[in-house]
Chains A and B, each alone.
Chain A
């Protein structure tokens, strides 16, 4: 059966000032897949995520989200698309002055005509899914980092999105909590048939959750394929990244000019 493409990037180029951050990215994400974007710090992962969620526009190239060309959608179409996607930010991005329940219910209160009692039940259902039922009345400051991430996840799925984007969902968490988050991402994808796009450089996460993986390097897709294809890749840069070795073709520092030149300039 032909797989349905829900995200398609075609030769996406983005410059910030003189620096080319995305240098011709093309890839496709299939419905229901967990698609992992990996790559070194600063290679443009978050920037690319912001393009495929419509927050940034490319200088050139095309991005299709659920069949709509993001470089030409109207504001109304963009609003409709936003209701079909959920975002989980690196920092969880909870509102500290709101309770857990209010954080999760925010999208429903803002974007729907559902009555209070119904919204409260949706909140309980979503908190149950992330293992935080009964925490509605706590404030974010009373939660651990891992719990905050889970609240962020409950909020991201409040509107039953078709696609959920995660930026570094396990960064800064201990390996066990990271494993819990990974399992949650997988469970939600399979149970609710959500398409998940996950940016991470946690190699353990990559291979435990990914159906397909894209590795970015210097603004380009170095390799894209299934988890197994990436694991077996002959590309020395991919292997260097997987093994976390400091020596190899990937340069970890990307200065623009010579150090001594810079000092005496």
Chain B
């Protein structure tokens, strides 16, 4: 599984490794489903090792956000490469997500 979870300061940091595409998205969604089942209040997703995200990957993140919102959970994305950042912009999703430059900042300011 290209996803590693880490507990830090009462929140969960997800490190995803590789591509978030049609092949890996279903597995990544399952990992998030476990956090959602536990009603995890704050989740930070670190993209520093993500090389590529396709539409199904973006849709998976949207679905995770949607599911988390049902119980008031919050999702934050960090360390997006310029290429992935611009993908969020092109698809107009950058306003939907809470995107923070660095993981450290994302954690310390996650109130």
Contact = CB atoms under 8 A, between A and B. Distances in A.
A171 B4 CA distance: 51
A125 B91 CA distance: 8
B63 A118 contact: yes
Contact of A160 (B54, B62, B90, B92): B54
Contacts of A111: 22
Contacts of B91: 125
Contact of B59 (A113, A119, A159): A119
Contact of B63 (A112, A117, A191): A117
B12 interface: no
B13 to A, nearest CB: 23
A122 B93 CA distance: 12
A38 interface: no
Contacts of A108: 22, 56
Nearest to A187: B90
Contact of B55 (A113, A115, A125): A125
Interface in B84-111: 90-92
A122 B62 CA distance: 10
Contacts of B90: 191-192
Interface residues of A, number: 20
B14 interface: no
Nearest to B90: A191
Interface of A: 83, 108, 111-115, 117-119, 121-122, 125-126, 128, 158-160, 191-192
A112 B66 CA distance: 21
A149 B26 CA distance: 30
Nearest to A119: B59
B78 interface: no
B29 interface: yes
A159 B22 contact: yes
Given A159-B22, A160-B54, A115 B62 contact: no
Given A125-B91, A159-B22, A191-B90, A112 B56 contact: yes
A118 B22 contact: no
A128 B58 CA distance: 14
A117 B63 CA distance: 7
B22 A115 contact: no
A121 B63 contact: yes
Contact of B25 (A114, A125, A192): A114
